Amino acid sequence: NWICVAPQGGAELLFQVISDFYKRRSLTVTSNLEFSQWNTVFCDNRLMAALIDGLIHHLHILIFSGERY
């Protein structure tokens, strides 16, 4: 069983922000979760797939490893 962390409508709001920025402005997104785990926060698999697809279209991924403080 998954526990949704984001409030109702949170996924839609994030999708709208990313859609508004798409190809018009720069956007920085940070997360301690891999993309495959985002649906555990937002609990909407289709919307998360669309959101991640929009993010990674022109994406530069920086992965930092090591201890976190």
Convert the pLDDT of each residue in 17-45 to its tens digit: 888 887 788 888 888 888 888 878 777 78
Distance of CA 49 to the CA centre of its chain: 9
Kind and range of the H or E element at 9? none
Tokens 């993010």, located at residue? 55
State how far the Cα of 16 lies from the Cα of 54, in Å rounded to an integer: 11
Model confidence, pTM: 0.61
